[in-house]
A and B are shown apart, each in its own frame.
Chain A
Amino acid sequence: MTLRQIAELLQAEVLTGEDKLDTEAVTACGSDLMSDVLAFVKDRTILITGLVNAHVVRTAEMLDIICVVFARGKRPGEEILEAAREIDLPVMATKMTTYTACGELYLHGLPGTKEKPQS
């Protein structure tokens, strides 16, 4: 599923990375807990979160997350968007709750990240 399709399904406003909307997402992860995101996320994932701070972008950078969607109508400040632009990270904002946004994407065929691998 492309980021463009994701933006349409979530009726999301694209805040950064307009030029990267043809990128394909393979999985998605919905969480406000960056500790869990760091433990679960694998390849070519988008992150849907209600947590708005600079560490969301930093976590995305470390994991090569391909897009962050801020849910529940939350809008990141300019500082966060600037950090996202610096690393070419597409950022969107949707009015949907995290649950609904995840459900919408799952319903249209975007699976979740797999279970955490064993130690």
Chain B
Amino acid sequence: MSQVLIREVFPVAAGAYETAGEASAAIKRKLKQLGVDSGVLRRVSVASYEVELNLVIHSMGGTLTLTVDPQQVTLCSKDVGPGIPDIDKAMTEGYSTANEEARSLGFGAGMGLPNMKRNASTFEIQSQAGVGTSITMGFRLDGK
């Protein structure tokens, strides 16, 4: 096991549009303080913001967990439902089930999940309809 430098859990409430992004902003500040490379930092920030928005827009509430070890930053999102019935469809750019409120704020264009995958070094998603979704993303600190 690698040495864990930071492990922090951020709760994210369903439908909390006003505060959406606060966890990601806090994560960005922490990683900046640690001296994480600016390119890696931006990729983590984009993926973090996307996954946090997904928790706000689509889930019934969940958590975003940040773990940092000397090799990588890991972001893990877990929610308590409703789950994604068809992950392949959800991973398609442009496919979205976001509501009007999310769209009026400039989100819900169906770019979130593919954009997370593109920015992360490793991306795993598991979901069960009626149970919940978990997403784990790794970002290597050497940028690979």
Contact = CB atoms under 8 A, between A and B. Distances in A.
Interface in B11-32: 18, 20-21, 24-25, 28
A38 B28 contact: no
B45 A63 contact: yes
Contacts, number: 67
Q: Tell me what chain A mostly uses at the interface: helix, strand, loop, or mixed.
A: helix
B135 to A, nearest CB: 16
Contacts of B28: 61-62
A32 B106 contact: yes
A89 B99 CA distance: 30
Contact of A35 (B38, B48, B109): B109
B117 A119 contact: yes
A119 B114 CA distance: 8
Contacts of B21: 55, 58, 61-62
Interface in A52-75: 53-56, 58-59, 61-64
A33 B21 CA distance: 16
A36 interface: yes
Contact of A38 (B20, B38, B46, B117): B46
B115 interface: yes
Interface in A9-56: 32-39, 51, 53-56
Interface in B111-137: 111-112, 114-115, 117-118
B117 to A, nearest CB: 6
A35 B42 contact: no
B110 A35 contact: yes
